[in-house]
Amino acid sequence: MLDVKIVRENTAKVLDALKKRNYDSSILDNFLKIESKRRELLKIIEEQREQRNKFSQEIAKLKREKKDASSLLDEAKQISDSITEKEESLRALEEQATQELLLIPNIPHESVPVGKNETENVEIRKWGEPKQLDFLPLNHWDIAEMLNIIDFERASKIAGARFSLMKGMGAKLERALMNFMLDVNTSKGYKEILPPILVNKESMTGTGQLPKFDMELFRIADPEFYLIPTAEVPVTNIHREEILNESDLPIYYTAYTPCFRREAGSYGKDTRGLIRQHQFNKVEIVKFVKPENSYAELEKLTKDAEDILQRLGLPYRVVALCTGDLGFSSAKTYDIEVWLPGQQRYREISSCSNFEDFQARRANIRFKREGKKGTEFVHTLNGSSLAIGRTVVAILENYQQKDGSVTIPEALRPYMGVEVIK
RNA sequence: GGAGAGGUGGCCGAGCUGGUCGAAGGCAGCCGCCUGCUAAGCGGUUGUGGGGGUAAAACUUCACCCAGGGUUCGAAUCCCUGCCUCUCCGCCA
């Protein structure tokens, strides 16, 4: 959520941001219209309240002195009625104003490249060279089937399309990656968290999934819960409605969770294999930092995610998302894309974002500076380190051998207990 | 699932026979005094959000005692609903 004051007083900037994101500017107009009505009415109501309070005090005084107050009571009653009536309209306006404001996306940082869609994202750096195999590389689902480590057919019998069933060394690979990633992250000072994966509406709103993106979420009806699409949701909401001390910051968390996504609107895409699933595992890192440090922290966070790929020896590149491809809540995002020989292309495996105070304002996460009055919103960041399913894909495809076996990256062998899956 | 207790400021904790309550008292924090140092002691001060105001303050006003409704001229205090926490019983991984 943006600062109402900025929206009101710096409308041009917000408008510019909407344009760069290919958003219709009408959402801003709607908001401003309602907001100005709201303020007008609020002013009138507050003046009347002041009057009412004065009457009440007068009445109290008279009663204490055992004097008659009936004439004042009539007048006070009138004002009070008038307030009650107006308060109803005010409530409606407030509700509308917030709803509109919640639909306005974050303002992209000035360093974000301007562009229409993902084709205009900018490559920042590359690590490793796409492997040149001396045989025709297979897709991961073919490799997995030959090794009998993933069973898509039975998964679909049990649950449906876009689910997977890991078996044997496949299941162990998934578990090994989880532990490996958590160990690397915690060794760097990220505190390990195992959060709820069902959350309430407030948490979903706090990080920006609601109200705009309910079509992408799985919801449980009774009692009402949402399945998290990413650990970002429960972990960022750890500090919802809290005022942190300056000395608490920065806070670094890492969490493994399953993630659940409807993938509505992606019917034709990635129908085979592990790339796009309704349920997948992910290790996430989340930071709460002081505003002046958040961009340096974004660089560090991205490097920490890259480090996992480097340790696994997987070639990748980092791209800066352009304004047209940037997520709703994000001010700046780097995607890390891993090389997949089976597809002969780079695919997203991590997304690292600085939300500045956008989520913090929604979730009301503040901090107090030492010796200073008042509070400020913290900046929140997060990134995948990494999406585990896609890491499995990358390992199978990059480490496949001519004989159909898959060697295990050095760093993972202590976790797997074997050097090769065959 | 059954029975009961409770949710007040950074924390603890009064108030809850409605008015002078943004809220006693304590702790913690900050400023100062005092003591050779530390401790103790003494005095003062310290919530959040919005509006107006100012160069910035001062100042002023509205709201906030879990949340949402209601009663009333007036609610932390009375009534209803919801959420959460705790204790006991039952059931269960």
Round to a whole number and report the distance in Å from the CA of A48 to the C1' of B44.
37
The most confident of A28-37, A58-67, A252-261, A362-371, by mean pLDDT: A252-261
Per-residue pLDDT band at A68 (split at 50, 70, 90): confident
Q: Residue A187's pLDDT is what?
A: 98
pLDDT tens-digit map of A137-160 = 999 999 999 999 999 999 999 999
Per-residue pLDDT band at A372 (split at 50, 70, 90): confident
Active-site option among A82, A348, A376, A413: A348
Residue A413 confidence (pLDDT) above 90 = yes
Q: Residue A243's pLDDT is what?
A: 82
Active-site option among A261, A317, A361, A366: A261
Whether domain A118-421 has CATH 3.50.50.60: the reply is no
Q: Does A351 participate in catalysis according to the annotation?
A: yes
Residue A170 confidence (pLDDT) above 90 = yes
Residue A222 confidence (pLDDT) above 80 = no
Q: Residue A225's pLDDT is what?
A: 86
Active-site option among A203, A294, A330, A351: A351
Round to a whole number and report the distance in Å from the CA of A232 to the C1' of B66.
26
Identify whether the C-beta of residue A150 lies closer than 8 Å to the C-beta of residue A167: yes
Topology of the domain comprising A4-102: Helix Hairpins (1.10.287)
Round to a whole number and report the distance in Å from the CA of A99 to the C1' of B12.
39
What element of type H or E holds A260? strand A251-260
Q: Find the residue closest to B61 using CA and C1' atoms.
A: A50
d(CA A170, CA A129): 26
Q: What value does the mean pLDDT take over residues A325-331?
A: 95
Q: Does A390 participate in catalysis according to the annotation?
A: yes
Per-residue pLDDT band at A125 (split at 50, 70, 90): very high
**Residue A381, token pair as written in the block:** 């960041």
Q: Which residues contact A282 (CB under 8 A, 6 or more apart)?
A: A230, A231, A256, A257, A258, A259, A384, A386, A387, A388
Residue A370 confidence (pLDDT) above 90 = no
Spatial CA neighbour of A391 closest among A140, A135, A92: A140
d(CA A319, CA A321): 6
Q: Does A39 participate in catalysis according to the annotation?
A: no
Name the nucleotide nearest A76; use CA and C1'. Answer: B73
Per-residue pLDDT band at A375 (split at 50, 70, 90): confident
Q: Amino acid identity of A209?
A: Q
Return the percentage of chain A with pLDDT > 70, whole number. Answer: 100
Residue A239 confidence (pLDDT) above 90 = no
Residues around strand B, C-beta < 7 Å? A 5, 39, 42-43, 46, 49-50, 52-57, 59-60, 63-64, 73, 76-77, 79-80, 84, 91, 243, 366, 368, 373-375
**Residue A81, token pair as written in the block:** 């009625």
Domain parsing of chain A, residue ranges? 4-102, 118-421
Q: Does A64 participate in catalysis according to the annotation?
A: no
Q: Beta-carbon neighbour count of residue A202 at 10 Å?
A: 13
Write out which nucleotides of chain B lie closer than 7 A to a protein Cβ: 10, 19-20, 48-51, 61-63, 69, 71-74
Residue A394 confidence (pLDDT) above 90 = yes
